[in-house]
Amino acid sequence: TRLILATRNQHKVAELRAILSDAGLDVELVGADAYPEIPDVPETGVTFAENALLKAHALARATGLPAVADDSGLCVDVLNGAPGIFSARWAGKHGDDRANLELLLAQLSDIDAAHRGAHFFCAAALALPDGTERVVEGRLLGTLRTAPAGDGGFGYDPILQPLGETRTCAELTADEKNAISHRGQAFRALAPVVKDLLG
């Protein structure tokens, strides 16, 4: 079976390939970039789960193949959960990871170490062409550094230090990050659901 990864974020594609193959999912994983003619769906939902389902349904409908999507972001305690679903465009331009991270650090410059709690959140959605849908969620709790550290990962990884870790997510290996991440948790929970529905 072909399974479409309904994302144009190549960092997510790389992580999802590793997570889903480690979970023993025996399907051909095809990135959404294989379908350049399919327009991106507007992310009009108000939750991660709604946006993940919108993306998965759009690809499943347009390709006639099962699709999985990831909607994810960073939720900061002292900002009441922001950037949240706006994580990819926090500084204005969609996907400008460095600008988003720098703006967030500036917004938190007066916040002391005891109040820098945050978590990564991921909704993983599966949609079949017949409209069947499933969604599961994962989160990674941590604290926010005052300066970035590490070259791995993407997005806000250089400033999120997972609870119990001395390193940021960007200082973990890809396997170490996937083992604990919001995305790893969500897609490891989705894998048996995919197997079940696709046979």
Q: Which residues pair with 120 in a beta bridge?
A: 74, 140
C-beta of 8: minimal distance to ligand ITT in Å? 4
| Region binding ligand ITT by CB under 6 A among candidate stretches 22-30, 72-80, 109-117, 128-136 | 72-80
Which residue of the chain is nearest ligand ITT when measured via CB?
155
Which residue, 5 or 114, has its beta carbon nearer to ligand ITT?
A: 5
Alpha helix locations (H) across 23-139? Answer: 48-63, 97-107
The answer to whether residue 156 forms part of the interface with ligand ITT (CB under 6 A) is: yes
Q: Which residues pair with 121 in a beta bridge?
A: 73, 139
Helix (H) / strand (E) containing 153: none
What distances in angstroms separate CA 104 from CA 8, 46, 120, 167, one per listed residue?
Answer: 24, 21, 14, 19
Which residue, 7 or 143, has its beta carbon nearer to ligand ITT?
A: 7
> What number of other Cβ atoms are within 10 A of residue 116's Cβ?
18
- Please check whether residue 162 is in contact with residue 144, taking contact to mean a CB–CB distance below 8 angstroms: no
Q: What span, in angstroms and rounded, lies between the C-alpha atoms of 135 and 162? A: 24
Among 53, 157, 187, 190, binds ligand ITT (CB under 6 A): 157
C-beta of 194: minimal distance to ligand ITT in Å? 17
Q: Residues 89-118: x/- map of binding to ligand ITT (CB under 6 A)?
A: ------x-x--x------------------
Cis peptide bond N-terminal to 148, omega within 30: no
Q: Residue 192: which residues within 8 A CB-CB, separation 6 or more?
A: none
Catalytic residue set: 71
- The residue behind tokens 């529905």 is 197
Residue 185 annotated as part of some ligand binding site: no
Q: Residues 114-153: x/- map of binding to ligand ITT (CB under 6 A)?
A: ------x--------------------------------x
Annotated binding site for Mg(2+): 71
Q: Contact positions toward ligand ITT, by CB under 6 A?
A: 7-9, 12, 55, 70-74, 87-88, 95, 97, 100, 120, 153-157, 169, 181, 183
